Each structure stands twice: as structure tokens, then as C-alpha cells.
Structure 1
Amino acid sequence: MKTSKEIIGLPVLSIAEVLNLGAVKDLLINPESGAVDFVVVEPKNSFHETKLIPYQDVVGIGEDALTIRNQDKVIPFSSSAEALKLLEKDVKIINSKVMTEKGTIVGTVSEIAVDEDTGKIIGSQWIPNGQQQPAGYITADTVITYGRDMIIVTKDFQQGLTDDVSKEELVAEQEPVAEQEPMPEQDPLKFFEDQQNQYLIGRRVTSAIVADDGEVIAKEGDIVTPGIIEMANAAGKYVELTLNTVEEN
């Protein structure tokens, strides 16, 4: 299980290309299924269109990154009619009012917990009226409706309140883990970028890479060097370079 705070902000990495595709900007929630249907990706270059990942294409959500199989799983926001409809509904859940089916507002939601394998919302953290600290997670089976600014819960929802999410996280932190090879002492995003650069260096360019102002970054047949990578990054042509190289024989 992951909270939204643990997901939003993670770098998005494609496994096949070892490529950083941006960062998780938001989660698009389907109020009818009570699940995250899409992950919204903010691209590395701010002038590029915001992208989406259908949740079923998420391979994993770790402490350092959200991973997908390959970059083809990232789609333009404007290409998904379903995502645009969810955007119009604008159901965030966090900061929503909590109302019982009897019509009484009993507090607000401060966080959600998501099953990272399915995207289902398994709990909504409840802060009762007049309090600042959460009283527990409202379980999904006691939620009747997720709305834009309010969730409707059963009259006896408090009977199902749980702290299991936080408890499991604490147990996971306290349990000894098998000794593993230490991760590089650097930002994980920088680490994956370095890995991708090492993958590219020495590969042969299959199609000319040209900047928007007409400057030739690499000609067909050139061998990728750190200098070519630097020029491609500066011109916003890094992904294009990645897609147009082959291993040099």
C-alpha cells in the first residue's frame, strides 16, 4: 500500500530504455470504481505536453521511482477521452468533506491509501471535526460515494476505522531486512540518468538529430559521445536521440 504523498513526486522510469520520463504530478481517480485510473506525468521539459500512464501499465511503485515496462506506455493527455472526463469530474478525495448517509458532516479526508498493485483506494484518512490529528482510515467498503468535494459514508463507518496502513509501515521499518548491495550515494534520478547515458555512449546514430533552430546535433552514422548527449539535452532532443540509435557492431 502507498499513500498519495509517497507516489506524487516520484520519478517515472522506463525499464526497457532505462529512461527518466518525468515525475508523477497527480493521480486521476475514477469515482465510480474508487480507484486510480491514470497517473499524470509532468515531463522533464516544461514545454512538453503533460502525459498519462494508464494504471494497469504501472509495473511497480518503489521508494525511489514509479516504473513502467517501456516509454510507449506513456500517452498524451489529450489522446484519452476517458482521462479528460475524469479531469472534468475532478475528484481528488483529499481535503474532501466526509458526510454520513444520514446527512451529517463529520470531518475531512487528509490522505488516501492506494493498493499499488491494482490502484484501488483502500482507505481515506479521516480527521474528525474540531480535531487536527487523524482518527484512522475510513475503509473503502464503508464509502458509498466519492464526489468532487465530499465523500458519503455509511452511518456506522467508524466501526470499520483502521490504522493498519500506518502500522504496517511501522512494522516494515522495524523488521530486519536481508543485507543488500548498497544503492549509489546519489539522487536516484541522477543515477538512472547516468545509467542511460552510459547505455547511449558508443551507439551509432541511425537518423540525423537536428535542433529546432537547424543546428545538427548528430549525423546519421555518428557514434554517440558525451558531447552529443549534452547537445541533445540542451536542445530537448534527448528522447529522439535515444530512439534513433543502434548498438555499434
Structure 2
Amino acid sequence: MKKSTEIIGLPIISISAGMELGSVKSLVVNPEKGTVDFLTVEHDDWQVSVKAIPFRKVIGIGEFALTIDSDNAIIDLNEIPIANQLVNKRIKITDTRVMTRKGQLLGEAKEFFVNEDTGHIIGLHLNVNNQDVFIKSENVLTFGKDILVVKEEASNELLHSAEKLLENSEHEDEDSDEIIEDMSPARDVKEEPLSIQEIDSIKAKQIDLLEGKTVIKDIYGADQQVIIEKGTMLTINDIKKAQDEGPSTFVELSMNTEM
């Protein structure tokens, strides 16, 4: 298990040539699979095009270097449309807000952990209520560009240490000292679904809160198209548009406005 920061910056060594071919610039995340599929390459001679290494071509990731068989493992992203699409999605995970499926802001992701053999994302390091905690990736529903969406019960699955991310969930010790107590705001254990009237009331309050405020960055919808441009003074229709896109879009809007 490696932290993303332990991989970024590593020299890339060709085993067959016995030479350095650059360094790891970034990790390219596949949000559908929850994996790191490619590693982009930093090299002074490759400024025009973006080069990358498919994770499956990595021989090993050590403390001081990442090894590949030869420079044939390095590809030009312009030649691999799927890889190029993943890079353009810009899924970064670190310093990204974490929200539950029902729109409750849980905290912020500070780091993520990768299986150095397969590229699978094992878990995340979160900051929740100013505490460092960890959560397994199985609790993540969406690796988004700006927000990570997790299961509603994720706040009950927070762990004390990164080592516990490696434990098989079927054999985990369920004692209370292994799992951090729910750190989310107080709520009933059994949540009753909101009535239509309650939902309408919440939406009306959201409109009152945001109407007339100015958007300070472009807001994207579920299809990654801009639905509200930076500089827009919000109208009721703008706010309803964000509400219709879903909780993650509305949270993004509410956190990027000013009077």
C-alpha cells in the first residue's frame, strides 16, 4: 500500500536500459473503477505532448524509484483516447470535499492509498471535524472532479489508522475501539424519508439563502457541462437548475458564491 504522495515525484527507471526516463508527475484516476490506470511522466524533453505509463506496465514501486521494463511502456496520451479522456476528467481526490449521498458534508480528503501491485485505490485519509481518520474505498460511491460522494453510513465506518485499511472487512474486529464513533452532526439512527412538503420547504430555504448572490466559479452539472457560469447573479431558476442536478451540484454551488 502506497500513499499517492509516495509515488508522485519518484524517478522512473528502465530495467532493460538501466537509465532514468523521467519522474512520476501525477496519478490518473479512473472514477468508474476506483483505480489508478495511468501515471503521467515528467521529462524536460517532453513538453509538447503528455506521456504516461499504464499502471499494468509498472514492474515495481519502491521507496526510491518506480521501475518499468523499458521505454516502450511509456505512451503518448494523444494516441490513447481512453487515457486522454481520463486525464481530462482531472479526478484529483486530495483536498476534495467529501459528502454523503444525502448531501451532508462529512469532511475533506487529504490523501489516498493505492495497491502498488494492482492500482486499486484501497482507502482515503480524511479530515473530519479537525481529526485525521481513514475510510475504505468500498464506502465511496463517486470519485468526482470536485466532490467525493460516500455512502450514508460512511460516518460510522471511520478508522483510527491507515493500517486498518488493509484488514479484510469480513474479518474485522467489530469492537467499538476499532471504529471511530459517528463524527457527523447528531441524527437519528433510523432516518425517516422526508415528505414532499419537507423537501419543498428545504428547497425554498435554499433559494432564499442563495438568490441574488454571485457565483465565483463555473458550476458543472452531472454531464460535466457548465450549467451556471462564473459571475452569474443567481436567480430562482438558476438555483432550481442546480437543485435538479442533485446534491453534489447544489453543494458545489452553495460553497462558491458571494454577496
Q: TM-score, normalised by structure 1?
A: 0.63
* 8 Å Cα contact 2:10/2:66 also seen in 1: yes
Residue 70 of structure 1 pairs with residue 77 of structure 2? no
* 8 Å Cα contact 2:11/2:64 also seen in 1: yes
Partners of 2:9 and 2:29 in 1: how far apart? Answer: 17
Partners of 2:56 and 2:13 in 1: how far apart? Answer: 15
* Pairwise CA distance, 1:158: 2.9
* 8 Å Cα contact 2:135/2:165 also seen in 1: no
Q: Deviations over 1:12-64 (max 9, x none)?
A: 00111112100000000000000000000011435463310000000100000
* 8 Å Cα contact 1:114/1:122 also seen in 2: yes
Partners of 1:115 and 1:2 in 2: how far apart? Answer: 6
Counterparts of 1:1-249 in structure 2, within 5 Å, are 1-45=1-45, 47=47, 49-129=49-129, 131=130, 133-134=131-132, 136-165=133-162
Instruction: Identify unmatched segments of 5+ residues in structure 2.
Output: 167-259
User: Structure 1 residue runs of 4+, over 2 Å off?
Assistant: 44-50, 158-169
Task: Using CA pairs under 8 Å that are at least 6 residues apart, name the structure with larger relative contact order, 1 or 2.
Answer: 1
Q: Deviations over 1:100-145 (max 9, x none)?
A: 112101111000000000101111111114x1x42x2221111111
- Select between 86-95 and 115-124 the one with higher mean Cα deviation: 86-95
Partners of 1:152 and 1:168 in 2: how far apart? Answer: 18
Partners of 1:145 and 1:20 in 2: how far apart? Answer: 36
* 8 Å Cα contact 2:99/2:147 also seen in 1: yes
**Aligned counterpart, 2:184:** none
* Pairwise CA distance, 1:88: 2.0
Larger radius of gyration: 1
* Pairwise CA distance, 1:164: 4.5
* 8 Å Cα contact 2:122/2:165 also seen in 1: no
* 8 Å Cα contact 1:23/1:44 also seen in 2: no
Aligned residues: 166
- Select between 62-71 and 38-47 the one with higher mean Cα deviation: 38-47
Instruction: Identify unmatched segments of 5+ residues in structure 1.
Output: 170-249
Residue aligned with 1:156, SS: helix
Q: TM-score, normalised by structure 2?
A: 0.60
Residue aligned with 1:97, SS: strand
* Pairwise CA distance, 1:163: 4.2
* 8 Å Cα contact 1:93/1:146 also seen in 2: yes
* 8 Å Cα contact 2:106/2:155 also seen in 1: no
- Select between 152-161 and 139-148 the one with higher mean Cα deviation: 152-161
Partners of 2:136 and 2:13 in 1: how far apart? Answer: 31
Partners of 2:90 and 2:101 in 1: how far apart? Answer: 22
* 8 Å Cα contact 1:43/1:49 also seen in 2: no
Q: Percent identity?
A: 41
Give the letter aligned to residue 16 of structure 1.
Answer: S
